[in-house]
Every structure is written in structure tokens, then in C-alpha cells.
């Protein structure tokens, strides 16, 4: 079997085995998510499930990826990704126990992203659908930091229903995995397969009714790894717009976060103040139950992921047409659901 299949299976098994221990550990150490007016669960739930995802992900990667066989620059990038992911998990654990102020958490995310940059991982250029390249030069590092921190937070913010963030991240991982296979990027296939396996194993315990939440430990880890690996590998080799593939793969959390920012800004509400206007909240208001809302968002994510895979196979006008069609459909749906408006109290 290909190494990426082994990576997925190893991470999947480790995640299935380790998560019950994490549930017990969370219960013993007080890492519990209490219900409140904005949340949909009715009783305290363990919330450091990301620790199990991290252990499973690292097991899948280290068991199948031969670091010594990689070129030095690629090896450096992978090491930077794993170190940065470890820092993100530590930050998430502290936040899940202590509820860090947003500015402190943001600073920690920037530091973790800075580790990736220090190890040579950065967005050097952006390509358009016609094969032309725009080199970022002095903006490469700021753009990379913005990209990694931005995606880290988008996955974090969508973690509002049982199984939502884990499932969406799994679909995004598989999307990038397929693009990596299309471009013969073995390194990326292994890392994304390990991430998918870890998330799927966790999802067994996280789907409604959830026995454990991933917490910031898990949601930030998933976003960080997906952001980092998209810069390292598959996307940089694509003939289409350099960052469109992961943007589409993570379209649901990216769009939900973007709409939240616009909604709060237009209403004069602080951008970082939580509200109940997210897509999953709107679906619940429409009468969907948790499982139905999550499954619908899986379908939307899968459709966006398929668009990303198709985008990697075409160029020029067809690629532009796909992106325009997706954008129009997204804004039509957002208008119909009223996501750009603040909900009445």
C-alpha cells in the first residue's frame, strides 16, 4: 500500500484508541466545556480532544514519513510544521484550561506561524488561472503569517456543533490529498492523510451526541496544519491560482468567518465578540437538528472540495468560470440565509 494509506490507517487507529483516555484525562483535570446561552449542548463535555488528534497525527506522520530521505529544504519545512503544530497544541491546551485573552492567543498563533517562516515555509508567489506569476517579494512573510493565522482561526471559529469542525477538516484534508496525488506530491499526501485519519478517528466520539469536544487544542491544530501544508506542497505546484485550492477546500469555515466579520462590522459590534449568526446557528433556526445541519455543511464542504479538485485540472477561462460560479452561489445562499445581518435578540 502507498505510504499515505498507512499514514491514514495508523492515525485513525491511534485516534480511536487514545481518545477515550483523553476523555478520562479531561474529566479528571477539569477540562470541561460548560453550556451557556451561545452554545447548543446542555451539559458539561470534555473539551481537549485535540490532544488525541495531535498524538494520532504525529504517530501517522512519524511512522510513515522518512525525514532523512527528504531534500534539506523540504525536510526543514516539515520539521517547522511539526514544531509549529506542537506549539499550537500547547497554546490550545492552555486556552482550554484557562481561557486566554484573545490578544494573547493571537500572539501565540503568530509565534507558531513564525516558526514555519523561520524554517523556510512561506508564500513566495501567487499564480493566476492563465499561468502568470505574481511574486510577493517583501510581502511574502506578512502574507504567510496572515494566511496561517487566518486559517488557524477560521477552523477554530466554526467549531460550534458536534462533529462540524472535525468533519469539515477531514473533507478539506482529503481534498488537498487528492490535489497532491494529482501533482505527485508524496510528502503532502502523507501529512494530509495522517491529519484526515486523526480527525476521522476523533469524529467517532465527537459526532452528535458528542462524548468529547476538540476544543481550541484541536480546531487550531487542524487549521494550522492545513494552512502550513498547503504552502509547503500541493498548492504551490498547481497551475491554477496558487491558494485557491485550500480556500475552496476550507470554504465553509473561511466564508463563515468572513461573513461574521462583515456582519459585526456593519452592526457596530466588536469583530471578536461571539454571536449566534453563524451558518450552523441559521440552519438550527430554520428547523434543522444538529445532525442535519452538520451533514448539510458536510455536503457543502464536499462540493467546494470537488470544485477545488476540478480547478486543478483546468486552466484559463474554465478556471475563472468555476471560481465565479462558486462565488455567486455562495453570496446568493448567504443572502437567502441572512448571514450578513445580525440576529435580533
C-alpha distances (whole Å) from 296 to each of 91, 164, 168, 288, 300 are 31, 10, 11, 9, 6
What is the pTM assigned to this prediction?
0.88
The closest of 4, 320, 54 to 178, measured between CA atoms, is 4
Contact yes or no for 54/89 (Cβ under 8 A): yes
DSSP string, 157-168: HT--STTHHHHH
The domain spans of the chain are 3-239
pLDDT at 241: 45
Question: How many alpha carbons lie under 13 Å from residue 17 in its C-beta half-sphere?
Answer: 10
Q: How far apart are CA 87 and CA 108, in angstroms?
A: 8
Measure CA of the first residue to CA of the last residue in the chain; give whole Å. 55
Residue 37: phi, psi to the nearest 5? -65, -30
Q: How far apart are CA 104 and CA 96, in angstroms?
A: 13
Rg (CA), the chain: 19
pLDDT at 156: 83
pLDDT at 344: 47
76 class by beta-carbon count within 10 Å (0-12 exposed, 13-18 middle, 19+ buried):
middle
Q: Residue with C-alpha cell 484541536?
A: 218
Positions in the chain whose pLDDT score sits under 70: 35-42, 127-133, 233-243, 267, 270-278, 314-317, 319-320, 330, 333-345
Q: How far apart are CA 245 and CA 251, in angstroms?
A: 9
Amino acid at each position: 500500500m502507498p505510504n499515505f494509506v498507512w499514514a491514514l490507517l495508523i492515525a485513525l487507529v491511534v485516534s480511536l484508541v487514545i481518545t477515550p483516555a483523553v476523555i478520562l484525562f479531561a474529566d479528571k483535570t477539569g477540562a470541561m466545556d460548560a453550556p451557556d446561552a451561545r452554545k447548543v449542548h446542555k451539559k458539561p463535555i470534555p473539551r481537549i480532544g485535540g490532544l488525541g488528534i495531535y498524538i494520532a497525527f504525529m504517530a501517522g506522520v512519524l511512522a510513515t514519513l522518512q525525514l532523512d530521505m527528504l531534500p534539506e529544504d523540504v525536510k526543514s519545512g516539515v520539521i517547522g510544521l511539526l514544531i509549529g503544530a506542537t506549539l499550537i497544541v500547547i497554546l490550545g491546551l492552555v486556552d482550554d484550561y484557562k481561557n486566554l485573552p484573545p490578544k494573547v492567543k493571537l500572539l501565540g498563533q503568530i509565534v507558531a506561524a513564525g516558526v514555519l517562516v523561520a524554517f523556510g515555509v512561506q508564500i513566495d508567489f501567487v499564480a493566476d488561472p492563465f499561468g502568470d506569476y505574481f511574486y510577493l517579494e517583501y510581502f511574502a512573510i506578512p502574507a504567510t503569517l496572515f494566511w496561517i493565522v487566518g486559517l488557524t482561526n477560521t477552523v477554530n471559529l466554526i467549531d460550534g456543533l458536534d462533529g462540524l469542525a472535525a468533519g469539515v477538516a477531514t473533507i478539506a484534508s482529503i481534498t488537498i490529498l487528492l490535489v497532491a496525488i494529482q501533482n505527485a506530491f508524496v510528502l503532502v499526501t502523507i501529512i494530509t492523510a495522517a491529519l484526515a485519519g486523526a480527525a476521522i478517528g476523533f469524529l467517532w466520539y465527537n459526532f452528535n451526541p458528542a462524548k468529547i469536544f476538540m476544543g481550541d487544542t484541536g480546531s487550531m491544530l487542524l487549521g494550522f496544519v492545513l494552512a502550513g501544508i498547503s504552502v509547503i506542497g500541493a498548492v504551490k505546484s498547481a497551475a491554477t491560482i496558487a491558494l485557491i485550492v485550500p480556500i475552496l477546500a476550507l470554504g465553509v469555515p473561511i466564508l463563515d468567518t468572513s461573513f461574521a466579520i462583515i456582519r459585526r462590522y456593519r452592526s457596530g459590534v466588536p469583530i471578536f465578540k461571539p454571536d449566534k449568526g453563524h451558518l450552523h446557528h441559521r440552519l438550527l433556526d430554520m428547523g434543522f437538528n444538529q445532525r442535519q445541519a452538520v451533514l448539510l455543511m458536510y455536503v457543502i464542504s464536499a462540493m467546494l472540495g470537488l470544485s477545488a479538485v476540478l480547478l486543478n485540472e483546468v486552466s484559463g477561462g474554465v478556471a475563472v468560470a468555476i471560481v465565479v460560479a462558486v462565488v455567486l452561489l455562495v453570496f446568493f445562499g448567504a443572502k437567502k440565509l441572512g448571514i450578513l445581518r445580525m440576529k435580533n435578540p
